[in-house]
Amino acid sequence: MPGSYIVAGARTPIGKMSGALAGFSAAELGAIAIAEAMKRANVKPEQVDHVMMGQVLMAGQGQVPARQAAVKAGIPLHVPAVNINKVCLSGINTIYLADQMIQAGDADIVIAGGMESMAGNASQISDGGSAVVVMSKKAADACGVQPLGEVVSYGLVAGPDNISLLHQPSRAIQNALAKIGKKVSDLNLFELNEAFAAVGIASMKELGITDDITNVNGGAIALGHPIGMSGNRITLHLLHELRRRGGGMGAAALCGGGGQGDAIIVRSL
């Protein structure tokens, strides 16, 4: 089946509570990221087939904030949009779903992102938006762009209890690796979301990896954790860092409320 490529992406800064982004709605933050991601991908709004945006705190945000963000970014009204709520996993899960849509032949260009304007969370209370443009090879060739990377595998795990939350990022990575017959040692770089400090430490220990290849540009404790955005952000950061280092393959993973975990494995191109 045809695979998919992450061609380009963009994110807003991450704002602190009552900080510079406090006056923006989640849809406005998402729109900023979407518009810039399309610009970097050399994609016109009318070329987009579908929009998926992760978001968790949607109360009071109006109907389908993903569609609001898409329209604010200039995407035509005939393009469908959907919100994904998988708690902290929302922003990375949109990439998985975009990849599945492209592999199924239902779309060639999908915007996958995440956005949040937060009221409070265990990590730093933060606002932000992130988006990537996911394309089929046919669309990437037609647009004349060099992709950041390709989606290689994806892992989804859940339960069995709340204690396992600490290890869900590492379990999800192992799940993704098993699908492609690879080992942890085949990966060059890791992004582990720090919803809590213990999550990163526990997952690093279980994977047997060191901090010189993990969250090398800072994690959620330093940067903030806008919950609908974070999975998208860490995937984008991973791809840019792999390119800076000359290529390779890496994994981004998170734990999520409800005892779940998601991971994506990407290869730099």
Residues tagged active-site? 88, 225, 255
- Going from the C-alpha of 223 to that of each of 43, 58, 116, 144, the distances in angstroms are 29, 22, 14, 33
Do residues 230 and 88 touch, judged by C-beta distance below 8 A?
yes
Contact assessment for residue 187 and residue 251, using Cβ atoms and an 8 Å cutoff: yes
According to DSSP, residue 263 is labeled E
Do 124 and 16 form a contact (C-beta atoms < 8 A)? yes
Q: How far apart are CA 194 and CA 258, in angstroms?
A: 16
42: left (phi over 0), alpha (psi -120 to 50) or beta: left
Chain centre to alpha carbon of residue 142: 25
Q: Is residue 173 classed as helix, strand or coil in its secondary structure?
A: helix
* 262, containing H or E segment: strand 260-268
Is the Cβ–Cβ distance between 93 and 230 less than 8 Å?
Answer: no
